[in-house]
Amino acid sequence: MSEKEIKKPLLQVRDLKQHFPIEAGFIMKKQVGAVRAVDGISFDVNEGETLGIVGESGCGKSTTIRSISQLYTPTSGSVVYNGLDLIKAKREELLDARKNMQMIFQDPYASLDPRMTVRTIIAEPLEIYKKRRMLEPQMSKKDIEDRVEELMERVGLNRAFKNRYPHEFSGGQRQRIGIARALALNPKIILADEPVSALDVSIQSQILNLLHDLQEELGLTYLFIAHDLAVIEYISTRVAVMYLGKIMELSRSSDLYKNPLHPYTKALLSAAPIPDPVIERKRQRIILTGDVPSPNVERVGCYFYDRCPYKMEKCKTNIPPMKKVDEHHEVACWLYE
């Protein structure tokens, strides 16, 4: 978590676009438009860090993660892991790379197969890669059994619960099962899709601490999504702020919270309550007007133009590029030209 050494990027995302076609027509389907869920984003994830992605609902956070893990086939761009572009990679190579890239899901109730025991759920990635003969080294049944128990202990589950079914657990315990499953293949990077947003606050902190400990013990890298600013502040090394499928600002976590640059980030941070009634009452809140515009239209100007309190003529027709303000702080806004 400290920035003592300069870390090399583990995952590079370049100009990633994920457009979902809108089709019309009875039998001969014709594409009449696209939902631009992710519309050209670029960032690096460095080894050992936690990159938090924050943004309001529908801004494309989850889509980004799913595009990176190739659950969706991205429309364009590149996702480079360890020198391999996952989008163009062959199936075998992709599977091999995916071994190092596991996901944790948002809903601990929906992300575990209700028909499987905890043992089967945690062992599933091992079984899949064992069947594909891509497990190094090959594991016997006994090895898998041992590994499952080890993982359960590691995430703080009693190994006696091995033969239980997910519905017999609480939300926090289920999320631990999900984390154990993600750890099964010894991944380098974990893509966490709002892993705590479905849990209540006390459980949230337990899970966050667990993730934190695991990162230190195993040297994991996280790509962490949340819409809760406090959670992101707590866990992240760096933070990317997304709006309408675009990254608005990307910065070290400490800088971002102290010194937000982008008007959207400012508005977003000001929307979060401060747990001190005196400051809370005094502070000036930035209220954005209007709604999030439809992601279906192609945009020529700044994505935040419609709602920006500081909008200029230039913003209407020119998309602002990511601009480095200082070494660790990038922002996409014409104000900082």
Partner 1 sequence: MIFKKKNNTAAINEFNQEIAGNSLTKDAWRRLRKNKMAVISLVVVIIYILLAVLAPILPIYPYDEIILDHQHLPPSFTKNAGELLMEKRLADLYTQAWRQGNLELTEEEDDMLWEWIDSNEVNKVWDYMYEKGNAMVAEGSYTLSSYEQRRIDSLEEDIRTELQITLKDVWYRADSGSERVKLTSLDTDEILAAYAQLVNISAEDQKTQYMKEIEQQVLREIKERTPDLSDEEYEILLNQEFNDMSESRLNTLIRSNVLVKLNNAIRSVGLRNLKDAAEDGTMEFPLEEEISISETISATIKASKVHERQYYLGTDYQGRDMLSRIIYGGQVSIAIGFVGTITSVLIGIILGALAGYLGGKVDYIIMRIVDIMYGLPYMLLVIIAMAIFGRNILNLFFALAIISWLTVSRMVRGQIMSLKNQEFIEAARSMGAPTRRIIFKHLVPNSLSVIIVFSTLRIPSFIMTESFLSFLGLGVQAPFASWGSLVGDGVTGMTLYPWKLFFPALVMTIFLFAMNFLGDGLRDAFDPQSKNQL
Residues that bind partner 1 (CB under 8 A): 66, 69, 71, 95, 98-99, 102-103, 105-107, 110-117, 119-120, 124-125, 128-129, 131-132, 145, 158-165, 167-168, 178, 181, 185
Residues in CB range of 4: below 8 A, 6 or more apart: none
Is residue 227 within 8 A of residue 203, CB to CB? The reply is no
CB of 164 to partner 1, least distance (A): 5
62/237 with CB nearer partner 1: 62
149/255 with CB nearer partner 1: 149
DSSP-assigned letters across all residues of 183-198: HTT--SEEEEESTTTT
Nearest by Cα to 208 from 246, 176, 238, 255:
176
CB of 92 to partner 1, least distance (A): 10
Residues 51 and 252: their CA atoms lie apart, in Å, by 9
CB of 71 to partner 1, least distance (A): 6
Q: Where are the alpha helices (DSSP H) in 91-140?
A: 91-98, 118-131
Give helix 141-154 / helix 118-131 axis angle, nearest 10°: 130
66/238 with CB nearer partner 1: 66
188/307 with CB nearer partner 1: 188
Helix (H) or strand (E) holding 315: helix 313-317
CB of 201 to partner 1, least distance (A): 22
- Supply φ then ψ for residue 159, to 5 degrees: -70, -10
- Supply φ then ψ for residue 321, to 5 degrees: -80, 165
CB of 86 to partner 1, least distance (A): 12
- Tell me how far the alpha carbon of residue 23 is from its chain's centroid: 28
Residues 298 and 303: their CA atoms lie apart, in Å, by 10
154/328 with CB nearer partner 1: 154
Is residue 165 within 8 A of residue 114, CB to CB? The reply is yes
2/163 with CB nearer partner 1: 163
19/98 with CB nearer partner 1: 98
CB of 316 to partner 1, least distance (A): 38
Residues in CB range of 146: below 8 A, 6 or more apart: none
220's tokens = 């994991």
CB of 274 to partner 1, least distance (A): 33
- Tell me how far the alpha carbon of residue 114 is from its chain's centroid: 25
Give helix 171-183 / helix 118-131 axis angle, nearest 10°: 20
CB of 174 to partner 1, least distance (A): 11
113/216 with CB nearer partner 1: 113
